[in-house]
Amino acid sequence: MPVRVPPQSLEPATLESVLEEIVTRDSTDYGEVPVSVETAREQLRNRLYSGEAALVFDEESATLDVVPAEHAPRERDE
């Protein structure tokens, strides 16, 4: 079952490592104009903090991914 992970719950260095892994995973294509890993990571970070996207941990595959916010599970109450 996927779990939403608030980006602010991760240490900054951990979040940066996660974002870099996601943007370089499987030669992800970001459109017709190639962008640097740093730019792609910054764009992804901005989408997470703006609420446009959400970081999701899939317990079954033990992977993190970024999905559109409307497709992410709701945050668990603590």
- Predicted local distance difference test score (pLDDT) of residue 31: 64
Cα atoms in the Cβ-side hemisphere of radius 13 Å centred on 65: 15
* Single-letter amino acid, residue 10: L
- Predicted local distance difference test score (pLDDT) of residue 36: 87
What is the CATH topology of the domain spanning 2-71?
Arc Repressor Mutant, subunit A (1.10.10)
- Predicted local distance difference test score (pLDDT) of residue 78: 43
CA distance 17 to 13: 6
- Residue 16 sits at φ, ψ, to 5 deg, of -60, -40
Domain positions in the chain? 2-71
Low-confidence ranges of the chain (pLDDT < 70): 26-32, 76-78
- Predicted local distance difference test score (pLDDT) of residue 26: 62
